[in-house]
Structure 1
Amino acid sequence: MKISDDIHNYYEKLVMQHFVMGKFDDKYDADFIADLTCVVLNQLPTRYIRHEVDMAFYLPPSERFDMENKVKKAIAKALEFMDVIRIDN
C-alpha cells in the first residue's frame, strides 16, 4: 500500500538546499552524499507535508529559522561522523 507520492518530509528539501548551496556535488561523490543524507536526516525530526505552499504560508519565520539551524548543525555533525568513518576504513 502506498499513501501518496505527494507526501514528503520537508527536512529532505532543506537538507538538499544546503547541499546545493554548499556545492556538495563538487566536493563529494554520489555514494558519500547518499550516506551523508541518511546520517543527517536521522538526526532531524520529521515534518511531513503534502504541498510546498503549506509551508510557505503556515510556517512562522521563527520556526523556519529554527529548522534551518537544525539542518546546519545536523550536516556539520554528520560530516564529522563521516570523516571519522573514512579515517577508520
Structure 2
Amino acid sequence: MHIGNEVHNYMEKIVGQLLVENQLDQRYSADKLQDIACIALSQLRPIYIRFDVDFIAALPIQKREHYFNQAQIALDAAERLIRDDRRKHREDDFPVIQSEQNRLYDEDAELEWYETPIVK
C-alpha cells in the first residue's frame, strides 16, 4: 500500500524551520544536521498530516507556539549532544545505562484536538 507523498510529520517542518532560524545550517555539515534533526524528532510526538494549509488553518495559536517550544527544547538538547559528542575520543568510551526515559511527551496523555480514536 502506498500512502502518498503528501502524508508527513508536521514536526519535521518545525524542526527544519528552527534549524535555519537558529543558523545551525551555518555551523554544521549536512550529515551533522541530519543527526541533530533525527535526535530532536525522536524526542517529539509525531503529528502526521496530509495538507499543511488545512492543518495550520485549524491549529490554535497557543498549540502552534507549544509545538515550536517543544521542538526548540528538543533541538537544543540534540545540538548539545552532537556538539559534545564523546565518540570523538573512542578510547575513553564505556557503556552508559539510562535508568529512566527522557521524553518530551507522555504516551498516556489525552488525545490532541485533531485526533480521533480509532477504537472506542
The verdict on a shared fold, with TM-score over 0.5 as the criterion, is yes
| Structure 1 stretches of at least 4 aligned residues deviating more than 2 Å after TM superposition | none
What SS is found at the alignment partner of 1:18? Answer: helix
Report what 2:6 is aligned to. 6
Percent identity of equivalent pairs: 34
Report what 2:61 is aligned to. 61
Bigger-Rg structure (1/2): 2
Count matched residues. Answer: 88
* Amino acid corresponding to residue 50 of structure 2 in structure 1: R
What SS is found at the alignment partner of 2:6? Answer: coil
Residue 83 of structure 1 deviates from its aligned partner by: 2.3
Cα distance in 2, alignment partners of residues 42 and 60 from structure 1: 24
Q: Which structure 1 segments of 5+ residues have no match?
A: none
Q: Which structure 2 segments of 5+ residues have no match?
A: 89-120
What SS is found at the alignment partner of 2:66? Answer: helix
Q: What are the superposed Cα offsets for residues 1-60 of structure 1, whole Å, 9 maximum, x if unpaired?
A: 321110000000000111111222211001100111100100000101111112221111
Cα distance in 2, alignment partners of residues 20 and 5 from structure 1: 23
- Correspondence list, 1:43-82, <5 A: 43-82=43-82
Residue 84 of structure 1 deviates from its aligned partner by: 2.8
* Amino acid corresponding to residue 76 of structure 2 in structure 1: A
Cα distance in 2, alignment partners of residues 82 and 11 from structure 1: 20
Report what 2:87 is aligned to. 88
Task: Name which structure has the greater RCO, CA cutoff 8 Å, separation 6+.
Answer: 1
